[in-house]
Structure 1
């Protein structure tokens, strides 16, 4: 009796497994979602949603892309036509095809001119009559500085002021002032947002120098793994002149 029950449960378990396998086979599955973590403003970029689907066993394939928490897709492809809405209007190459397979030809987003407002989460949802699959990844569109300016000026006979500024950066950057290899104590850093971008300034007052000294200003965008540095040598004199001689970046 015990053996019979074991056989009964084994057959039932196998049946369930077969049913689950068939159900997965009949549906869609996202194999890989390719979204660059970081991209440069203005550089065309492709977001690809690679999926598997068996046309002979399923119907009603639809590919949708969502941006952040929006409920309405910013892109939707249903075989012979695609639909756009929201932030991606006018910013996609609708002729782009990622493959020649008619079932996945226009699954990808080819963004021609990404801007910082396109930084965020992208969700690909692939659905059919049988099931659906979705995945989400984030992309950052970073904007480097328009310029990085490092200046020194005499406040009076006793005080030298070091100033550094950068404009039009995204996302929010960090900045530090250095004298030699050490950070200048008491540096004041301010950041202002303007039209979705950030302007940043750093300033510090130090005792007037009697001999040449090297100063550095370092601008960092940690999320983009971006750092740029400007260096200057200050030569004491009647006018407090400085020589800018090196700009480093990565």
Structure 2
């Protein structure tokens, strides 16, 4: 049984069995599902509870009320504890990382410090958080998961001559990202680089080799594909990085020009295609005067990736 449903289920069982009303029960557990690494807004985890009628008539010190937070998997000891009338305490993974002065607005002495605020959440604090509220006569708990994700520190797509004649290795690398993302490579043939809405479609490259390495609290990931038969028309290669749990996606692209030929983009553009190498490939910073950021576009969510790309002004958008 999940921690989110335990409270309601147990109260229903108490009523069905004719047992007296609970001395304490958790009414809501508010834990942010996704938080960005190092977010200046911080993360607030709130555990709202209600006391029985008899406990409400007593002083907080007479009920034995104790609020504890646990980071599941970090050990049996709590990472935060508060007893009304005493100063909150932080332990273990959260020691020195909680705002102990934080109070819940509008709450009385029985709930002032029930919530914990993490001013600077980091990826190592991802996990399931359990709130336990107890009195001398009763106890209740609920559990919810929080993911602290870290966007990539860098995302690069490149090419190099490899192996047989005319073979090219297309590679995409992401550094410093958490949790482990999914990298996918796509390609699309275009008749005119000024638009991808001319009937061209993007296809996922098959047989892509992916390697992920955990370095500290983040991943470095590389995806690569060796292409033996390159097309005779300009081709766009895209790298998509997706963290599904965080509703986060980003893309970067390169363009292949057969025989090293390409359009002259030097007039009126913020950036131009660099000189073409022997393989006829170049990393594109801006094409036909599109914004520099158009080829490195954070998207709201993986499920919106196709719609966002087709609606954007990016002439190299691979999806329709």
- CA distance in 2 between partners of 1:205 and 1:89 (Å): 49
2:65 to 61, 68, 77: 61
TM-score, structure 1 length as denominator?
A: 0.86
TM-score, structure 2 length as denominator?
A: 0.68
- Aligned residue for 1:176, secondary structure, equals strand
Question: Alpha-carbon deviation of 1:105?
Answer: 0.4
- CA distance in 2 between partners of 1:220 and 1:109 (Å): 30
8 Å contact from structure 1 (residues 152, 234) kept in 2: no
2:118 to 96, 111, 116: 111
8 Å contact from structure 1 (residues 233, 244) kept in 2: no
Match of 2:98 in 1: 92
8 Å contact from structure 1 (residues 91, 111) kept in 2: yes
Greater radius of gyration (CA): 1
- CA distance in 2 between partners of 1:198 and 1:231 (Å): 21
In structure 2, runs of 5+ residues without a counterpart are 1-16, 189-201, 261-275, 287-294, 300-320
In the alignment of these two chains, the number of paired residues is 231
Match of 1:153 in 2: 160
Q: Deviations over 1:7-37 (max 9, x none)?
A: xxxxxxxxx84xx34x42xx11110000111
8 Å contact from structure 2 (residues 34, 146) kept in 1: yes
- Aligned residue for 1:117, secondary structure, equals helix
Question: Alpha-carbon deviation of 1:213?
Answer: 0.6
- Aligned residue for 2:88, secondary structure, equals strand
Greater than 4 Å deviation, 4+ residue runs: none
Match of 1:48 in 2: 46
Question: Alpha-carbon deviation of 1:73?
Answer: 0.5
Q: Deviations over 1:49-103 (max 9, x none)?
A: 0011233246111100011142111000011222211000111111110134111
Question: Alpha-carbon deviation of 1:228?
Answer: 1.1
Backbone CA RMSD of aligned residues? 1.9
- CA distance in 2 between partners of 1:193 and 1:101 (Å): 45
Match of 2:181 in 1: 173
Q: Are 1:78 and 2:83 counterparts?
A: yes
Q: Are 1:205 and 2:226 counterparts?
A: yes
Match of 2:144 in 1: 137
- Aligned residue for 1:249, secondary structure, equals coil
Richer in strand (by share)? 1
Match of 2:29 in 1: 33
8 Å contact from structure 2 (residues 123, 148) kept in 1: yes
Match of 2:248 in 1: 226
